[in-house]
Amino acid sequence: MSKNFINKTHIEGVIYEHALEMKTTGPNSKAPGTQYIRGSISIATDNAMTNIVPVYFSYVTAKTNKDKDNATYGVLKNIMDGVIGTHMKDGAEKAGKVRIDSALGLNDFYPPNSNELVSQRRNEGGFVHTVDVLQDDENSRNTFECDILITNVVRIEADEERNLPEKVLVKGAIFDFRKALMPYEFTATNPNAMNYFEDLGASQSNPVLTKIWGRQVSTTIVKTTVEESAFGEASVKETKSTRRDLLITGAAKEPYIWDDESTMTAAELKEAIANREVALAAAKERSQKSAITPATPAAAPAGSANFNF
């Protein structure tokens, strides 16, 4: 693949809570006995403290590969030690403010005793910096920008009972810094955006490679149930659920050239899909210690491709 695929997110706000822990590498690792931080921090990106965006860190050490102090490690360590406060523990006034330049990732795993793959979308890694002042525009505090290979577009009708608007699901694949393929789904609610993505005519046999950008939105859905009583007041119950959407607010005027050496060829996509299957088989084996890694399929001619991921 000649193209360096765009995949970046910007999260800025108040530290809502954290689930960080200090770990030590085992004797079989490349650097045995190395301490590192793993876990997540959740950031409230709006002033109302309702749009909560988590960022996950898998391996953050005190030193970088160039043996320099790792600023991100220092910030995360201060959050763990309580030097930097969180909203849930210390209140809004004492909670620290940060900006994080991260990327969209995918946590693939098989639960114990299950053959069902679980793929969790999340922000992964990046650089964390403390700040004194946040951007005034709340919509600029929770952004994403990425290249996507679109293979399916589905319109979903509005759900008045659940207070959900009409939307279009934009499905396809994005890529990490290693150019590994990650199946992903985005949402468009703007009428012009919904029509635009439908008119692209993207499919598994005719994918469209383009750039999109937007915001990470966390919505709390409240469902109220009223049960009438034989006498007196009715019973009113509220059930809350949180839905996180990657809401598309813009796209490139012209898609990239697909199946071209300057971007990505159909053969390269087939190889990326095969590599993902091998990685999933390895994840299943680690989880269940019994899976068999499938052989990498041979690449079919580009004209007969059906990219199903």
How confident is the model over 185-228, as pLDDT tens digits? 999 999 999 999 999 999 999 999 999 999 999 876 556 677 88
Cα–Cα dist 120/37, whole Å = 20
Residue 293 has pLDDT above 70, yes or no: no
- The predicted model scores a pTM of 0.86
Residue closest to 102 by CA, chosen among 83, 81, 84, 76:
76
Q: Is the pLDDT of residue 107 over 80?
A: yes
Q: Mean of the pLDDT values across residues 153-178?
A: 93
Q: Residue 246's closest CA among 193, 307, 209?
A: 193
Statement: residue 160 has pLDDT above 70: yes
Higher pLDDT, residue 112 or 263: 263
For the beta carbon of residue 134, count every other beta carbon within 10 angstroms.
Answer: 18
